[in-house]
Amino acid sequence: MVNSIVSALSRILTPDVIGKIAAAVGLERSLAQPAIAAMVPAILSALIGVVGRPGGARQLADAVARQPADMLSSVGDGRGGSAEMASRGTNLLTSLLGGGALGTLASTLARFAGIGEGSTRSLMGMLTPIIMGVLGNEQRAAGLDAGGLANMLTGQQKEIAAAMPSGLSQLLEASGLHEHITSPGAAERSAYEAPGTTPQVAAMQRASNTTGRGVSWPYWVLPLLVLGGLLWYLLPRERETVPVAGSKTTSEPTQAVLTKSAFLSNAPDSWVSIGSAPNEYVNKEIYSRTGEQLGTVRDVLVEGDRKMAAVIINVGRYLGIGDKEVAVPFSALQVTGQRMVIDTTKDALQAAPTFVRRKSSKQ
């Protein structure tokens, strides 16, 4: 059975190891730790993009195979965190992602973590061999070939995304990193695509700068495309909603953002778990209004008259390890489109009180 990559990395990146890496880069550990927590899932996500392109699975497998056999043990006994290790990791990332994608990833992470881009690149360089070492261990333990390694990585995509700190996935998506990695020639195309440019205008700009094309667009088409894109962005679009049992269906969500006091630390004795009874909510993923995955519904508590009273959500801690349960009133849950949504953030769930189950709340 393949182990969790995120869990394996969290066991290696202990506070002591993080402190040594931070010292090598010249950062306070208080700055390095949250930066590393963001970099690990971001690099793994970028590697998922690598294996999704032609020849990418073999390229990743070759990179993993080139790692020294004692890589992880050297990190554990304090030999990791060197400038040589950082340089090797940076070169490795450059060969896998490409210079343009690596620059995009580094600048996005630097902005998110609030540290310099030079320190960000050094941290990424030190983390990359560690990540490759863990992938190599899991590959050998499961007897996987290049395709199996790629499938193992992509199969844990949801867990990797869930380990990202709040707001990072949106920044990475807005940066165009995925296109840089997976699309041939994307690095060159991005030079024509200034922020805010619509896809239609970008396509026109690329066509006008490409030689050997026999088609020339009339000069008046460009402003029309710009105007059309602007109107599309500004005009209001109706949100599709699906009714939830016990709630009113509206075209616009109305519940307020959940405050810390709205979370439940325990439940009245009269509330009971639905247990193994069939339910449309249990084991379904919960999202924020911005589309960020927050956790998974583990249980629903009902009052004596079988009215749904609260939802218990399983969320992950640092790097996805050390799950905890939090509970919110059932009225806070809304289904929008095909997703179950609560108006909160991953950070708020992490700070929320852990829900303590009572014997009386189980059937």
Are 17 and 106 in a shared domain? yes
Whether residue 162 lies inside any domain: the answer is yes
pTM of the model as a whole: 0.53
pLDDT value of residue 278: 62
Kindly give the parts of the chain with pLDDT less than 50: 80-81, 184-218, 237-256, 318, 320-321, 360-363
Total structural domains within the chain: 2
Neighbours of 91 (CB within 10 A): 12
Q: Which of 173, 188, 203 is the last residue of a domain?
A: 188
CATH of the domain at 340: 3.90.50.10
Q: Which of 188, 206, 235 is the last residue of a domain?
A: 188
The C-alpha R_g of the chain, in whole angstroms, comes to 24
Q: Which long-range contacts (CB under 8 A, 24 or more apart) does 193-198 make?
A: 198/225, 198/226, 198/228, 198/229, 198/232
Q: Which of 188, 214, 230 is the last residue of a domain?
A: 188
Whether residue 270 lies inside any domain: the answer is yes
The domain containing residue 331 runs over which residues?
260-361
Secondary structure in 3-state letters for 25-54? HCCCHHHHHHHHHHHHHHHHHHHHHHHCCC
Whether residue 233 lies inside any domain: the answer is no
